[in-house]
Copies of this chain bind each other. A is one copy, B any other.
Amino acid sequence: VALAIDRVGVKGLKKPIRVRDRRQGESPAVAVIDLSVDLPARFKGTHMSRFVEALEEFTGALDHKSFRALLASLRDRLQAKRSHARLAFTYFMPETSPEAGAQSLAGYDCFLEGDLEGAPEGEKLTLTVGADVPVMTVCPCSLAICDGRGAHSQRAVVRIRAKAEGFVWIEELVAVAQAASSSPVYSLLKRADEKKVVETAFAKPAFVEDVVRAAARALLDHKLVNWFRVEVESLESIHPHNAFAVIERDKRAGG
């Protein structure tokens, strides 16, 4: 007797989409997309072309509602019990430099992942939002041992994945990551801004341990988030390898 398959589908589809943003607008994006469903033991195979058809019909802006509709469409077209979709894209947000007030756009690698389970009348949707946020860290240890006359700093990436009751904005995850670090990074910095960024960062040195804890604390305090995983990976400027730290918590489980 054949085995049931957890997920079967397509990977690496590309599509230009629009993403609903927090400012009530829509941002153009190019998504890399994985789509799949479960396949019960009694079925020989799935219908791969139907995944692509479902995606072709997805024409609105990406938000909570349209994403659920895409998942429902997959489930129904493929006669499945569970459907899964992952859309990865670069999400752009306006950015203002800290001193000169120079305007630019910052792009973050993000994704939206959804699992829809059960028949329409009792379906359960699980949404995961992910954002990779580059930040700056100044090493507290080297600042201490060099008596404040120097310290190594580096770019680090804060990778947040969150599940929530309701919807969490990417803007919120970016803010959590930036607040947890020594300083945000910026695309455009004038001379006065650079001074400000370095002074800010040196006034707030942080190990990966500190950043991951501060970000996790903010996510624990977030009313809608009920599960999260934060990984901070620091491109150590004194080493050829990276340092990293991870905290994952499931609030529903009392974890």
User: Which residues of chain B are near A183, meaning CB under 8 Å?
Assistant: 238
Cα distance, A183 to B238, chains bound together (Å): 8
Q: Restricting to A188-229, which residues have a CB under 8 Å from any CB of B?
A: 188-191, 194-195, 197-199, 201-202, 207-210, 212-213, 216-217, 220
A5 contacts partner chain B, Cβ-Cβ < 8 Å: yes
Closest B residue to A234 by beta carbon equals: B11
Q: Given the interface contacts A7-B246, A52-B104, A190-B49, does A149 sit within 8 Å of B149 by beta carbon?
A: yes
User: A239 to B105, Cβ gap below 8 A?
Assistant: no
Q: Which interface class (under 10, 10 to 19, 20 to 34, 35 or more) fits A?
A: 35 or more
Cα distance, A102 to B104, chains bound together (Å): 41
User: Which residues of chain B are near A236, meaning CB under 8 Å?
Assistant: 155, 185
User: B145 to A239, Cβ gap below 8 A?
Assistant: no
User: Which residues of chain B are near A103, meaning CB under 8 Å?
Assistant: 56
A242 contacts partner chain B, Cβ-Cβ < 8 Å: yes
A67 contacts partner chain B, Cβ-Cβ < 8 Å: no
Cα distance, A51 to B142, chains bound together (Å): 18
Name A198's contact: one of B36, B151, B240 (CB within 8 Å).
Answer: B151
User: B238 to A185, Cβ gap below 8 A?
Assistant: yes
Closest B residue to A182 by beta carbon equals: B237
A135 to nearest B CB, angstroms? 9
User: B194 to A11, Cβ gap below 8 A?
Assistant: no
Name A12's contact: one of B4, B12, B191, B242 (CB within 8 Å).
Answer: B242
User: A241 to B13, Cβ gap below 8 A?
Assistant: yes
Cα distance, A12 to B241, chains bound together (Å): 5
Closest B residue to A109 by beta carbon equals: B14
User: A216 to B3, Cβ gap below 8 A?
Assistant: yes
Given A5-B247, A56-B104, output 5 extra A-B contacts at Cβ < 8 Å: A3-B247, A36-B244, A53-B188, A107-B240, A197-B238
Give the interface of A toward B (CB within 8 A). 2-16, 27-30, 34, 36, 39, 44-46, 48-49, 52-53, 56, 89-90, 92, 102-107, 134, 136-138, 141-142, 145-146, 148-155, 183, 185-191, 194-195, 197-199, 201-202, 207-210, 212-213, 216-217, 220, 233, 235-248
